[in-house]
């Protein structure tokens, strides 16, 4: 009989906790291990090669923790590393491991939120330059027009807990204005970075009330539930003791101080030493 193992969840830092929170709410019976690569965050302005390398090392670390199913709760890693990991690295490891991302489940649904078929995306520079959102949304909603705005300052502001200062307002307003200037028909804005739900109230403040703002957490959690329902062999190998473990490649103490803001609960993290971090 095969050993039962937790679901691995990965992000460059704290942002994936906004997704984990929704997964735990929907699927409380499963065990989860979270890894934040805070020592090397943010990923959003890094090259394809760096994001791929860092994400692969993190996924391998979660595999060594015995996870056989890992969710990249990070748009930048999903945009820049997921395909290579799925098509190259997992092939070499045999067929027992699975890695899922957040972009596909989001693009399968986002078009159904928009009446005008004009969708705005706020994301990191890496996610925007990968063109993953326009390409993937085009597959499911061919009539949709997608407008993207890179927000390179937002992840550092969130990671450094600078959400309440006027500098944060300045950048949120600037990016929202730049997005909305691209089309007056945008009626739906996707927060295409798992850090941005923390900025929801500020983004709301600078958007007309008629525009709806969509976070990914619930969408990704529902998609995971559906995946487990459809893949019974993978599901049957998941442990179900409602246990959560948290790891960071940076200081565990610092992680604990900031993480509750994202996860909504206190966390006691441990330090993870990755091969090259
Ligand atoms: N949470 C990551 C995302 O969804 C942020 C990436 C970063 O570290 O810049 O893209």
Give 26-57 pLDDT, tens digit per residue.
Answer: 999 999 999 999 999 999 999 999 999 999 99
In whole angstroms, how far apart are CA 139 and each of 36, 108, 136, 227?
31, 9, 5, 20
Structural domain of residue 186, as residue ranges? 104-215
Please give the tally of structural domains in the chain.
2
Which residue of 17, 18, 34, 41 sits with most ligand 1 atoms within 8 Å of its CB, as the best mutation to test the pocket? 41
Q: Does 92 share its domain with 109?
A: no
Is 106's C-beta closer than 6 angstroms to any atom of ligand 1? no
Is 1 within the bounds of a domain?
no
Distance in angstroms (rounded) separating the CA atoms of residues 204 and 236 = 41
pLDDT score, position 3? 84
Q: Region 236-261: what's the mean pLDDT?
A: 96
pLDDT score, position 159? 82
* E strand spans, the chain: 7-11, 32-36, 69-72, 98-100, 118-123, 145-150, 188-191, 212-214, 244-248, 270-271
Q: Does 230 share its domain with 241?
A: yes
Mean pLDDT value across the chain: 95
Pull the structure tokens for residue 169.
Answer: 């307002």
Listed residue (165, 246, 148, 149) closest to 199, CA to CA: 165
Is 2 within the bounds of a domain?
no
Poorest-pLDDT segment among 6-15, 80-89, 157-166: 157-166
Q: Region 184-197: what's the mean pLDDT?
A: 97
Is 42's C-beta closer than 6 angstroms to any atom of ligand 1? yes
Q: Does 93 share its domain with 119?
A: no
The pTM for the full model equals 0.96
């Amino acid at each position: 009989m095969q050993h039962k193992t937790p679901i691995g969840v990965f992000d460059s830092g704290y942002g994936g906790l906004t997704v984990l929170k929704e997964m735990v709410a929907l699927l409380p019976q499963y065990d989860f291990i979270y890894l934040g690569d805070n020592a090397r965050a943010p990923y959003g302005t890094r090259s394809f090669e760096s994001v791929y390398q860092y994400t692969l090392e993190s996924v391998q670390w979660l595999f060594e923790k015995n996870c056989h199913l890992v969710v990249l709760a990070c748009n930048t890693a999903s945009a820049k590393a997921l395909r290579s990991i799925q098509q190259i690295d997992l092939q070499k490891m045999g067929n027992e491991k699975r890695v899922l991302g957040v972009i596909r489940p989001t693009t399968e649904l986002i078009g159904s939120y928009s009446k005008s078929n004009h969708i705005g995306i706020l994301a990191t520079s890496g996610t925007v330059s990968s063109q993953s959102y326009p390409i993937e949304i085009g597959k499911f909603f061919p009539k949709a027009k997608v407008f993207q705005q890179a927000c390179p300052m937002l992840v550092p502001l969130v990671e450094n807990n600078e959400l309440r200062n006027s500098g944060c307002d300045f950048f949120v307003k600037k990016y929202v204005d730049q997005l909305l200037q691209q089309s007056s028909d945008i009626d739906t804005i996707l927060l295409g970075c798992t850090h941005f739900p923390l900025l929801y109230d500020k983004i709301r403040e600078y958007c007309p009330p008629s525009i709806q703002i969509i976070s990914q957490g619930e969408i990704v959690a529902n998609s995971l539930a559906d995946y487990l329902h459809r893949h019974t062999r993978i599901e049957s190998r998941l442990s179900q003791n409602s246990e959560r473990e948290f790891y960071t490649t940076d200081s565990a103490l610092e992680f604990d101080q900031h993480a509750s803001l994202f996860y909504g609960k206190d966390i006691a993290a441990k330090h993870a030493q990755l091969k090259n971090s």
